[in-house]
Structures are given as C-alpha cells and as structure tokens.
Amino acid sequence: MYRQFPQNNNAKRNNPRQQNGELTAIGMTQGPRGNKLTIDGQVDTSTVASIVGDVLGQLPAQADTEIRVLALYHWVREALFIYPSCPDDLCEDFNKALRQINWWGYGLCGTQSKVFGMLVAHALGRENVRLLGTHERETGNWKMRERGYRVFKWSGLARDNEPDSPDGHSTLEIFWDGAWHLLDVMVGFYRRHPDGTIASLQDLLDDVDLAAQPVGDPEGDMPFGDEREVFTATTVSFRSVTFNSWPGEGLPLLLRPGESFTWLAEPIAGAYYLHPKIRERFGDEALEPGPRGHRPDRATRRYGNGEHRWVTTLHPRAEDPFWCTETGDWHLTVELPYPIITIEWRMEEGANGFLLPHAEHDDRLLPIQATGQQTTPKEQPPSRRYRLILRSPGRATETGPKPLVVELKSIVQLNPQVVPRLLPGHNRIQLRGSAGDDLQARFRYRIGDGWQENDCIGVGPHDVAIDGDPESQQLTLSNGEPP
C-alpha cells in the first residue's frame, strides 16, 4: 500500500532546512556547515577545496608543482581501493568526486582517475588536466590473462568480457612546466626521464625502455605487479580536458537535540550497496562479501558503515516543530550526508504511521506499525533522506493524541579511510557547530587488549593525548549525551 506524502506547513515554518516546500540541506552551495569534527593535521574531506587545502597545506611553502601533484596522487592512493563502483566509469553521472571519496572509497580506473583529476584541477586549473582513454594495440598485448589480472582483476571477472576483444583502460595526464605528465592513480604508476621529469604517455610509447625504470616510490612502481605493457603496447582512444566529472556537493551533518552519529569501527556484514548493473555484470559470487581491496602488500580494505540515532519526545501542540495541526500527526525528516542502507524505528505500542524511505526519488508512503525495519532494495539506489508521519495511540480517542517517544536508527555506508582518527601522542580536536549545540564527541578505541574512551564536550578545540597506538577506533558525535 502506498500513499502520497502530504505537506506539513507547520514543519515548513519551523524547520530551517525546508524552504519553498522543498527540503534542502543547509550550505549545499556554500559548502557544508552543520556539525563537524576535525583533527588538526588531518584532511577534512567535506569539500574539494578543503581536501586540496589540507593536503597541500602540509607541504613547505616553496614546494613546486610536481611535489604538490604527487602529494594529491599519494593521498588518493590511500583514500581509494580498487573495486567496481558504477556501471560505466567514463559516462555515469553517479561518479562524483566527493561521493566517491566519502561514501564508497573505491572505484576502477575511470573513477579513480576522475577523482584525482578533480583535485588537481582545483589546484592547477581544469585546462591542465586531461583524461586519456586507451586500449590494447592488439588483443593480448597487455598479457592480462597470463598474469591473473593483478591490478585489473575485475576485467577478468566481468561476465561481458570477450576474449577476442582488446582490453581498455583510463588514466590521467597533468600539464605543468610546459609539458604533460602521466600519473596513473589506480595502477600506481609513473615514470621519470633521465633528467628527473615525469614522463607523458606519449614519452613511454616513444621510449618503451623508460617504463622499465622504477622511480623508487612504492606508490609509483606498480605494487600489484609489473604491468608496464598497459602503457607501452597501447593505442590512445581519446585525450579529453572536458571529461564528465563534477565534484558534487559538500553534504553537512546536522544534529538536532537527541541525535548522534557514530562512525563504526568495523563494517556490518551485508550493509552495503552495489549498483544493479554491477551485480549483473559481475555476479554475486564475484562480488561477495562486499566491497574490499585486493592489494597484495597491505591488509584488506573494506567498505565502512555509520550509525545514526535519534531519540526524541514529540508533543501534540503547535510549538512542536514536527506537529501538523491540519492532520493531527507528526512529520519528521532524517537527512544524512551518506547513503542510507537500513532504517529502524521503535515507538509505544499502538503508535503507527507512514514511512517515505526514499525521499530523494519518489513520494510513495509505506504504512508502518510501532516497531519495524526497512532495508534499501538491491535494485534501488539508496537515499540520504527519509520522512515519517507518526500517529499517537490516543489519536482517535476522546482525550486525543498524547506525547510520543520515538527511537530511530539508520545504518549508512561510508569510506572509513577518510574518517578522522586519533594518532599516538597529542591530538588537537575541533568540534564545530552552532553556539547553542550541546556538541559532544566520544572516541572509543583499543590499545593492546584493553578498551579506552575519550570524551570531548562543547563546541571548540579539545586536546587528547594517546599513549600507545589506538586500534579499532569508533567515533560518536552527538548533540547531547552520547548513547
């Protein structure tokens, strides 16, 4: 049973995020505001500008362009791992740099090249970045099938892979000091001329021996294994400085009183999203147990999860920002900066209402009872926002509706690699929010066999000293006492 979501004029008047009948996140065009935790010396990934500024801000003031580009290259190498994230890395609008970095944390060659390219374009200008499409000069030149695919593992697992067709690849070139320079962020590859300058792809095609000369950088010497043929026995399909890439929007975390968000230490089994075309192309047997890296020289990286909680008491009066006097019920909206995988709710026995689980995609409502759970279907992209219409058990009685306590829990998918982490020694924590927020942060982590906690209370700076190497870190940010 589906119903259309009605308008709540009272919520519109009282909710600062709702304007002109549409719910919008504050600061979409001006960069995310809301509530945030950062650690001095670590990269704030809320905007492209903050990423580039924090990465390059750690360099000496006199650092030249090559050093700046390599700093961004190494950062992307750490932030992303290799796993298919969308059906067409080159054309799909799904590929937005901020979402790849903060939500998924993985992608194949086109995705990773465009994320890297977007950061470099912010630093040097879009005209100095170009995406290259390449393919084997002759089928079999890249020897993928002989080498177990290594970095190109997913090319071999694709169901539509035709043995007689040439393999393809996407990579990136950057222009500085009067020349183009190839840096392949997915493969982990770049090469230098004898004079020390970084070579272009055309340079490698003209001098194939150059590709055999290591640069002494673990992130530039093909850590998956030698696949230099991808850059020497290749034909360039296109070079484009107008590649389809958009940074996306910086999405804020806005915590109302009683709300908290926890970046979980470990992923929840099965709590991830894969595009239906990815499932079709590779099959569940290849994709299980969910997004994970396969780099041979480091521990396996995986997707991550977060948990949003909100406990609030709703009152049946006009002063309650969620109360709708026209319909005699409450209208609530939950909006998060990550894709929501699962929604759970708990209310008093006899309470009921309706759930709009995919507020970004349609306006159809599902009837709900006092407790329940809704998981995003495999065939539907997850939403960042859902809405609820809730009704008190006493709504139809002579006494009328009474206050209702509501507990909501949402599980989201995120990239754990870019979440702030406590480091051994001194950490300067910054809690950012409005002056009226009762903002609190709780770090929970393991040192050796023992678990420890550190709390930071109040907007502003906090100092946390860690004696030892904290592992399995879990961070909760809340408006009020953490759950």
Q: Please tell me whether residues 258 and 165 are part of one structural domain.
A: no
* pLDDT value at residue 244: 63
* 331: nearest Cα among 2, 1, 13: 13
Burial string for 33-49 (b: 16+ CB within 10 Å, else e) reads bbbbbbbeebbbbbbbe
Q: Is 299 part of any domain?
A: no
Distances (CA, A) of 140 to 18, 146, 149, 170: 56, 9, 12, 17
The interaxial angle of helices 109-124 and 65-79, nearest 10 deg, is: 140
Domain that residue 341 falls in: 3-28+252-267+304-413
Q: Please tell me whether residues 425 and 400 are part of one structural domain.
A: no
Range 272-299 average pLDDT: 89
Within 125-183, residue ranges assigned H as helices are 153-157
Q: Please tell me whether residues 355 and 468 are part of one structural domain.
A: no
Residues 351-381 have pLDDT tens digits of: 999 999 987 777 788 999 999 999 988 888 8
Above pLDDT 90, what percent of the chain? 66
What value does the mean pLDDT of the chain take?
Answer: 87
Q: Please tell me whether residues 346 and 377 are part of one structural domain.
A: yes
Q: What six digits make up the tokens of 322?
A: 């969620």
CA distance 198 to 393: 70
Length, in residues, of the chain: 483
Rg (CA), the chain: 25
Residues 419-452 have pLDDT tens digits of: 999 999 999 999 999 888 999 999 999 998 899 9
Distances (CA, A) of 311 to 255, 376, 404: 12, 22, 11
* pLDDT value at residue 141: 87
Within 159-265, residue ranges assigned H as helices are 201-206, 229-232
Q: How many domains does the chain have?
A: 3
Single residue among 381, 413, 445 that ends a domain in this structure: 413
Q: Please tell me whether residues 65 and 126 are part of one structural domain.
A: yes
Paired residues of 471 in beta bridges: 446
Q: Please tell me whether residues 63 and 208 are part of one structural domain.
A: yes
In the predicted structure, residue 399 carries a pLDDT above the cut 80: no
* pLDDT value at residue 22: 29
Q: Please tell me whether residues 202 and 80 are part of one structural domain.
A: yes
Q: Please tell me whether residues 328 and 474 are part of one structural domain.
A: no
CA distance 344 to 253: 19
Single residue among 389, 413, 437 that ends a domain in this structure: 413
Residue 130 · residue 243 · CB < 8 Å: yes
CA distance 390 to 304: 31
Q: Is 282 part of any domain?
A: no
Q: Is 221 part of any domain?
A: yes
Q: Please tell me whether residues 223 and 359 are part of one structural domain.
A: no
Q: Is 382 part of any domain?
A: yes
Q: Please tell me whether residues 171 and 87 are part of one structural domain.
A: yes
The interaxial angle of helices 65-79 and 48-57, nearest 10 deg, is: 120
Categorize the per-residue pLDDT at 397 as very low, low, confident or very high, splitting at 50, 70 and 90. Answer: low
CA 476-273-183 angle, 5° bins: 90
Report the CATH number that the domain containing residue 210 is assigned in CATH: 3.10.620
Between 454 and 250, residue with greater pLDDT = 454
Q: Is 334 part of any domain?
A: yes
Residues 319-330 have pLDDT tens digits of: 999 999 999 999
Q: Please tell me whether residues 48 and 190 are part of one structural domain.
A: yes
* pLDDT value at residue 147: 65
Residues 219-248 have pLDDT tens digits of: 999 999 999 999 999 999 988 887 666 677
CA distance 311 to 318: 20
CA distance 291 to 479: 32
Single residue among 377, 393, 413 that ends a domain in this structure: 413
Q: Strand pairing of 425-432 and 323-324? A: unpaired
pTM above 0.85, yes or no: yes
* 3: nearest Cα among 256, 305, 356: 356
Q: What proportions of the chain, in percent to the nearest 5, are helix, strand and coil?
A: 20, 35, 45
Categorize the per-residue pLDDT at 144 as very low, low, confident or very high, splitting at 50, 70 and 90. Answer: confident
Reduced to 3 states (helix: H, G, I; strand: E, B; else coil), residue 22 is strand
Report the CATH number that the domain containing residue 383 is assigned in CATH: 2.60.120
CA distance 451 to 149: 41
Residues in Cβ contact with 348 at an 8 Å cutoff, skipping those fewer than 6 apart: 370, 392, 393, 404, 405
* pLDDT value at residue 398: 62
CA distance 147 to 167: 14
* pLDDT value at residue 10: 47
Q: Is 296 part of any domain?
A: no
Give the DSSP H/E element, type plus range, for residue 39.
strand 36-39
Q: Is 276 part of any domain?
A: no
Residues 24-55 have pLDDT tens digits of: 222 223 344 689 999 999 999 999 999 999 99
Q: Please tell me whether residues 450 and 340 are part of one structural domain.
A: no
